[in-house]
Structure 1
């Protein structure tokens, strides 16, 4: 991941349980947080996986 430790990135991700696709904020420590809503999908415990590992796009 590029940037400083305080920067978050955004990436496309999928829930491995239901295959829902959305955009997440990725923190330097690896935490993922859905953008635009509190839950990524309707799963009780979503297992999110980022599509790309080289995150170039910085959040404003």
Structure 2
């Protein structure tokens, strides 16, 4: 049973997360020949303050743009 774990910064619309889950499932099924029913996708959304980019939090980096 394939298990896919994805970590992303918070803030994306639910529709985009649904699309991500669908696309990852479809691609994995096609690539591995695994039934879609056996594929699990876990999406973890992290606060921007907990995501580092180049030594700064995603929140701080976003504020400077």
Q: TM-score, length-normalised on structure 2?
A: 0.27
Bigger helix fraction: 2
Q: TM-score, length-normalised on structure 1?
A: 0.28
